[in-house]
Amino acid sequence: MAGFSTWYHGTTRARARSIARDGLSARDYGSDLFGLGATYHVLARDLDQATAWAYPGTGAGAIVTVHVPDDERAEYLTCPDGPCYCGGVLSGLVKALPARMIRSVEHV
């Protein structure tokens, strides 16, 4: 059986509901995540980092946990194994992740 990598995405509860239903696409944050110049880097390996993106303290945040199958990582993620400047702790989307890869949604 093939393995998978676990990634986290911080967002709003409203967006998390649609992500669970329809999957996750880069358009969920547009072209400049929080003004940091990270165009499509919207997934984190670290739950704490994703929590910081989930509007902490507002009661409106959610964390989406994603399991990306190892044999499909390069097809879906921009830097699945650490070749880019972030060392593999952040990743973006080459194409939308289907809803079947959404493992869970947790309100924060």
79: domain range?
4-107
**40-94 tens-digit pLDDT:** 567 899 999 888 888 777 888 999 999 999 999 888 888 755 556 677 788 888 8
Smallest CA-to-CA distance from 19 within 38, 39, 41, 27 is with: 27
CATH number, residue 8: 3.20.170.30
Mean predicted confidence (pLDDT) in 18-22: 92
How far is the C-alpha of 61 from the C-alpha of 76, rounded, in Å? 25
Do the Cβ atoms of 11 and 58 come closer than 8 Å? Answer: no
* Signed CA dihedral, 25, 103, 100, 83: sign only: positive
How many folded domains does the chain comprise? 1
